Structure 1
Amino acid sequence: MKKIVVFSNMYPSKQHPTFGLFVKNQVDLLQSAGQAVDVIAIDNPDKGKLTALKKYMSWFLRSCIYMLKNRKQLALTHAHYAFPTGVLSLVGKKMLGIPYVVTVHGGDIDKMAAKNVRIRNFTRKILQQGEAVIVVGEKLKNDVILRFGVPESKVHILSMGVNTTIFKPAAKKEVREELNLSIEEKVILFVGNVIKAKGLLELVEAFEMVKSTTPNAALYLVGSQKDTAFVEELQSFIQERKVEGIHFKSAVGQADLARWMSAADIVALPSHHEGFGLVALEAMATGTKVVATDVGGLSYLLSDGAGILVEPKNTVSLAEGLKKALDPTMLSINEVAVQQRVTANSFDSILQALLSIYHKAGKI
């Protein structure tokens, strides 16, 4: 069996266990199915011009040497993110004839390609010359086809998948005891990087409105706090408004994250943009209600009554959605739609679809 190599500019390490964890999960899934997979990735999220230059130069050099040494054993390369990662796969195809697949996650299209004409043109070339382009949501599929000229026949919608052996319903009382949470609290949970684009300023303001009618509400923000400037801005915003009941928690592993989701009354995702919204899917798999903005993949995941969709960057709409989710007399979640989304994006379903794409692209 020929092997594949996965390139990614995000991958977890012992020091940064959640950095690009979704890529590692997919690699583990492939390896568990017997597919030979090597990984060459950046596992250091540290920023700064000099740091970035060193780590990207080292990564590109290691990747090129790897392809030169292993070109006869490789069926294909798989790049996560069109730019800059896709440049490696493009070089491998041009110089060594190695076919490739590229996964578009959202930021590489919405933000990176918009930086300048050069990056946009590189992105277009990478997407057009790949054997297959995987996108994690319907909106991204339309963008790839309409904005970057990729034939529809080459574009596949495929999320990173949810591990339903980890993310599954658990008794709320038991997990709250494990996490030292009061059973009386109405727990609103946010999971993700603590950055402005996740809509956290709006969430704090909306939570303040919720507290006026639900005094026992509590908001837990679980995730990486590496954007220290924004964390300070957010904390100042909370202090200025004198909002009580907001708690910051560091990023946790998947097993602990599943417990947090099961313990919550609501998982809130007020993102300004979201390629797919894996956190929402994971919450749905635990049986917890989701309130999220009507953007990107969230629009699909929570459609048909699978959750509550609110207007992006609209504090009042977000507050109304949270209040509705907390009031059992006002909300009826479509459990059939929830189960359909979870099943369609389970690891088993994703694995079969991914292997099918690989077979067509690289004859593995």
Structure 2
Amino acid sequence: MARKLKIGITCYPTLGGSGVVATELGKLLAEKGHEIHFITHSIPFRLGKFHKNIFFHEVEVNDYYVFRYPPYDLSLASKMAQVAKMQNLDILHVHYAVPHAVCAFLAKQMLNNGMKTVTTLHGTDITVLAQDESLKDLIRLAIHQSDAVTAVSQDLIRETRQLLDITTPIELTYNFVDKRIYYPRDVSTLRNDYAAPNEKILMHISNFRPVKRVSDVVDIFAKVQKQIPSKLLLVGEGPELTKIQCKINNLGLEDKVLFLGKQEDVAQIISLADVLLLPSEKESFGLVALEAMACGVPTIGSNAGGIPELVTHGETGFLSPIGDVDSMADNALLLLRDENLHEKFKAACIKRAQEDFCNDRITYEYESIYYKVLGLESEIEPLSADICLS
């Protein structure tokens, strides 16, 4: 039986794909008997109720008057070292290179006790921050000093190597969904609160940043609803929200669009949709598309970043060039008009999510990485062929 590990996890605990994945991973590892210590500035929002083997350590920032800006990074590094020493951690797994991997490097230097660090790149730390020349050397240092580095898509690995000119090994470890949570829900009664029986439901979920191109979502919907009775559900909040509200009003679509704000039970909400709209201009993976896929909802989106690694064009959704709202609208209409085709896509979505991106497979991959960096390869048990079918 494999030795159980003591693992520290640091992530952004608020809304965001990286925080969701890190938190869900911690919960799954705890279920397998590992001891998990979250080291963050607040309790991860997906952590929820009490979990055996999970502990939370709050990072408190020193607000000493000489500091113009509270030094969160230094406080985090100090807390990482403190928790690692007190709890005798085997691994510190950080999500995002800046600042978390840099803080882990500082903590490891303070301890000098052989603790290992694993860094997972999620996207913005590379696609945005690594574009800044003043941060490149810092990000490069964080990656070089990690004992293992993973990334959530091949496209992100490619971009990391291209932007930072590094040869450090980076292991592909896709994001995942917990199949016990993400599956098609029976929302027939709930659906009546949002749409008439003859109406289709299109959905977009994001943090409403410019990179998500929510304006394109509205344009796609405007074209679709001219030909098919439909409603658009917008889930989430962010800086573009007011601009989008104005556009919807200017187009006279206010009676066709519902703003649902932030939602925690995403699987229930996604199950309402007939299609998900994801026309992003940058998307290192596209976790929301995977969550939709697991619930049997095809994606109409762009071929940006890692989305093509997740959404199989013509099988689990349709992908178009960034900004090609005409093509995206046509693809949405194709699916919404043909019930047999939609059912075929729905079945393919569920199958792909369960087989290729299931929680059991990805948790096993992370465990294997932990054991390797600790020199415990003999602890790695063979991967069962039917691990995702149980």
User: TM-score w.r.t. structure 1 length?
Assistant: 0.86
Confirm or deny: 8 A CA contact 2:118 2:147 kept in the other structure.
yes
Structure 1 residues 19, 352: closer, same or farther in 2, change over 3 A? closer
User: Which of the residues 345, 367, 374 maps onto 1:355?
Assistant: 367
Confirm or deny: 8 A CA contact 1:132 1:357 kept in the other structure.
yes
Structure 1 residues 360, 149: closer, same or farther in 2, change over 3 A? farther
Residue 150 (structure 2) pairs with residue 134 (structure 1): yes
Q: Aligned-pair distance for 1:150? A: 4.1
Residue 84 (structure 2) pairs with residue 70 (structure 1): yes
Residue 120 (structure 2) pairs with residue 103 (structure 1): yes
Confirm or deny: 8 A CA contact 1:162 1:282 kept in the other structure.
yes
Q: Aligned-pair distance for 1:335? A: 4.2
Q: Please say which of residues 316-325 and 54-63 is displaced more in the overlay.
A: 54-63
Matches within 5 A, 1:117-266: 117-151=133-167, 154-177=169-192, 181-214=195-228, 216-223=229-236, 225-227=237-239, 230-244=240-254, 245-254=256-265, 257-266=266-275
Question: What are the ranges of 5 or more consecutive residues in structure 2 without an aligned counterpart?
Answer: 45-62, 377-390
Residue 48 (structure 2) pairs with residue 20 (structure 1): no
User: Which of the residues 118, 122, 131 maps onto 1:114?
Assistant: 131
Aligned-residue Cα RMSD (Å) equals 2.8
Please list the CA deviations of residues 254-284 of structure 1 after superposition, one character each: whole Å capped at 9, or x if unmatched. 3xx2122222111111111111111111111
Percent identity reads 24
CA distance in 1, matches of 2:227, 2:83: 64
**Larger helix proportion of the pair:** 1
Larger RCO, structures 1/2 (Cα 8 Å, 6+ apart): 1
Q: Aligned-pair distance for 1:162? A: 0.3
Q: Aligned-pair distance for 1:180? A: 5.0
Moved over 4 A (4+): 16-19, 53-56, 329-332, 334-338
CA distance in 2, matches of 1:55, 1:342: 45
The amino acid that maps onto 2:90 is A
CA distance in 2, matches of 1:222, 1:147: 33
SS in 1 for 2:204: strand
Structure 1 residues 249, 174: closer, same or farther in 2, change over 3 A? same
Confirm or deny: 8 A CA contact 2:96 2:120 kept in the other structure.
yes
CA distance in 1, matches of 2:81, 2:250: 54
SS in 2 for 1:239: helix
Q: Aligned-pair distance for 1:114? A: 1.3
SS in 1 for 2:211: helix
Matches within 5 A, 1:242-321: 242-244=252-254, 245-254=256-265, 257-303=266-312, 305-321=315-331
SS in 1 for 2:280: coil
Q: Aligned-pair distance for 1:54? A: 8.8
Residue 338 (structure 2) pairs with residue 339 (structure 1): no
CA distance in 1, matches of 2:308, 2:167: 24
Q: Aligned-pair distance for 1:167? A: 1.0
CA distance in 1, matches of 2:79, 2:302: 43
Question: What are the ranges of 5 or more consecutive residues in structure 1 without an aligned counterpart?
Answer: 46-50
